[in-house]
Structure 1
Amino acid sequence: MSIEYQEEDVPHVLAVDDNLIDRKLVEKLLKTSSCRVTTAENGMRAMEYLGLKENQQQNSINGNGRKVNMIITDYCMPGMTGYELLQKIKESALLKDVPVVIMSSENIPNRINECLEKGAERFILKPVKLADVKTLRRQLTKC
């Protein structure tokens, strides 16, 4: 017997990574865990998708903003790092409560602590594994 979910019942995750392979891996793992996934190749595209403009007041969103239940982003990306994206999201009155997960292939304690102090929900080391995604999925269910 299969359970049918309304689209609103399925958590929507925005996955941001400049590396196509990593982005596709995260997307596949999230979909395997019954999440709806939107991907972006960099922080600026993610901000566009969320309706944030770099020069816009941080407490407003333009009409194109979309609702997501979680954002998972790579730390090191050209143009705008995952840390900078995290800062923009946490400065937005409308997005500040959306959990942000940072992922990186580099295990640098200062970087990890900096992200967590700025409001990241978690810091995951790459490659992202199914167990990581299952933990995130359980967390989304609690929200």
Structure 2
Amino acid sequence: MNASFSSSSSSKGMMDHGDQPHVLAVDDNLIDRKIVEKLLKNSACKVTTAENGLRALEYLGLGDDQNNTSNVSGLKVNLIITDYCMPGMTGYELLKKIKESSVMKEVPVVIMSSENIPTRINKCLEEGAKMFMLKPIKQSDVKELRCQLMKYGS
């Protein structure tokens, strides 16, 4: 059985996540998703992964069921990091849906892409992305991300 979401924390298991930012990482590529998850965990983040934009919207409570106004886990998401190029729904389309939502619009969204296309980068930033990062993501990128998280009052 394929799980739609994968959520993991540090080796302590059930922790109080008050001091640990919760990041939703969205990427259709399993290897890229695992790399981002590992880098974020190394920076003391709680990570939930989704394999596409629709799954991410479901997790955030923004799926087709409009009655669901909070995410299914009940945990606050402090940051969403998503790949730009994904089948079905691009990272840009996911960003737009998040920014249109009354409950999730304040959550910072970071777009990742292996393609350095200035018009794409500008389009994402104009739509409300906090950062645009080029793949492959490195630990230094995640440290910068963590600094951004602290600035936005997570």
Normalising by structure 1, what TM-score? 0.90
2:138 is aligned, of 107, 122, 129, to: 129
Match of 1:82 among 91, 96, 109: 91
- Aligned equivalent of 2:102: 93
Structure 1 runs, 4 residues or longer, greater than 2 Å off? 54-57, 62-66
Q: Quick check: 1:138 aligned with 2:113?
A: no
Q: Which segments of 5 or more consecutive residues in structure 1 lack a partner in the other structure?
A: none
Partner of 2:69: 61
- Equivalent residues of 1:116, 1:122 under 8 A apart: yes
Deviations 1:15-50 (A, max 9, x none): 000000000000000000000000000000000100
2:29 aligns with: 19
8 Å Cα contact 2:22-2:48 kept in structure 1: yes
1:117 has 2:123 as partner: no
Gaps of 5+ in 2: 1-11
Query: How many angstroms apart in 1 are the aligned matches of 2:40 and 2:59?
Result: 19
Deviation at 1:104, TM superposition (A): 0.2
> 1:140: how far off?
1.5
Distance in 1 of aligned mates of 2:38 and 2:133: 16
Q: Percent identity?
A: 70
Q: The residue matched to 1:134 in structure 2 has which SS?
A: helix
Change (3 A) 1:95 1:78: same
Amino acid at match of 2:134: L
The CA deviation at 1:66 is: 4.3
Aligned to 1:33: 43
Amino acid corresponding to residue 34 of structure 1 in structure 2: A
Contact 1:50–1:67 under 8 Å retained in 2: no
Q: Take 1:66 and 1:116, find their aligned partners in 2: how far apart are those partners?
A: 26
What TM-score, normalized by structure 2, do the two folds share? 0.83
The count of corresponding residues between Structure 1 and Structure 2 is 138
Query: C-alpha root-mean-square deviation of aligned residues, in Å?
Result: 1.9
